[in-house]
Amino acid sequence: LHTGTYSMNNHVHDNGCPLSESISNWANELRTKMDADPVLIGYVDQTIDVSIHSEDDERIQQWEGGHLPGLRRLTETDVMGTPKWLEERNISAGAFSTGHQGWNGYNGDQSWMRQQMWDKECEPYPLPTVYKAEDSDTRVLTERAIQFIQNSEGPFHVHLSLLKPHPPWAAPEPFNEMYKPEDIARSEPVVRCESVEAESQAHPWLKMMHEQDGGLSIFGANATAKEIDDDELYMVKSSYYALISEMDHNLGLLFDSLKETGQWDNTLIVFTSDHGEMMGDHWFMGKLGFHEKSYHIPLVIRDPTRLARDEFSSEKFCFTENVDIMPTILEWFDIKSPHQCDGRSVIPILEKHRGKEPEYIPIGWRSAAHYEVNYSSWGQLEDVNDFHGKSLGLKSPDECYLCVTQEDRFKLVYFLGNLPPLLFDLKSDPGELE
């Protein structure tokens, strides 16, 4: 997302992986090419390049929101979860308080967010969080972004990185009562085989994952959902949708502020995500596997030079990927993308007002989506030196890769380590069940 490169090229395949400083990113390019000062509100998942920095570097010892060269992180929101911050808001630290430092945009204890995550006895809605909506991390980070932009005397470049929707699955009032679990069960049933055993028969990788312990999957672990009953699942889904609505509401506050300050029509906005959620589909929770639910994410771009008026708004049906984000931002600033970039700018697709047809797609644009993942550390591992894939005969975490090419109709899943591939016909089998 930040570097315009695939995992196979940047070697960052999990949270906390170091990113080589030989690989640039959109923020670094803006800082070095146009003397901009891109800021981060929230967190990034990369750590510093350990090959060129000392092991004593405090940025290695303390994650504190991650590190991305060129991106200056604002730290005022780090007070979230600290004893004083909780006391001022009359929020209990919780019975499970450990004093563990958070890394998703704050440094306080995390347990205040995890209380009352779910309770299937609380029908018809999930319990609300123990904190108010104005004290949620989504609101705190959004308000910091609003404050920063309002105080900016010139151009601003802000990466607002919101954790939610994300575990823990709990939403504050009034969002927790927006979606009835029973309505979700009726209108959006899970997509999966009749049993986890039937699902596992499709491929050795599925069998391996579903044979593991899934006790923590309801709390956010990327693992099998075989131990979650339907009542629990749809309660969690209700909270998931509630968190999406909370995020949407807060982005609305940000957009309203841009309009009130006269900045709306000269601000490029890129909205996307780093992953989806399985939410019980194929008997999985979290983001894992090769199924679309983990990878099909939104990409909404408001380019004021092309889409400032409603008649210029349009929806495009073509394959885009997160590797396109960096080239898109750079082209908007007339900066040439470095050779490292695996993606392409989507700016040409937005050029409806330059005489091109609404259905215009640039020549040579990809005809399929591509995604890859290393699954060596997914799920629950008792030994930090262990990795998933040993039972499949894989020799190291480097062999624990799966790669997907997905066209309009066909989807090919390729596994390293001599595991058999999978081919789905999405026209006859849109749920990828056969």
Cα 63 → chain centroid: 18
CA distance 258 to 252: 10
**pLDDT value for 113:** 77
Tokens of 405: 């090419």
For the chain, state the CA radius of gyration. Answer: 22
Q: Which residues contact 317 (CB under 8 A, 6 or more apart)?
A: none
Q: What is the mean pLDDT of residues 315-334?
A: 92
pLDDT digits (tens, 9 = 90+) for 222-231: 899 999 999 9
Please state which of the ranges 42-51, 114-123, 243-252, 257-266 shows the lowest mean pLDDT: 114-123
Which DSSP symbol is given to 323?
G
CA distance 207 to 196: 9
Rounded to two decimals, the pTM is 0.92
pLDDT digits (tens, 9 = 90+) for 107-152: 666 777 776 665 666 778 888 988 999 999 999 999 999 999 999 9
CA distance 220 to 118: 12
**Which of the four pLDDT bands, split at 50, 70 and 90, describes residue 316?**
low
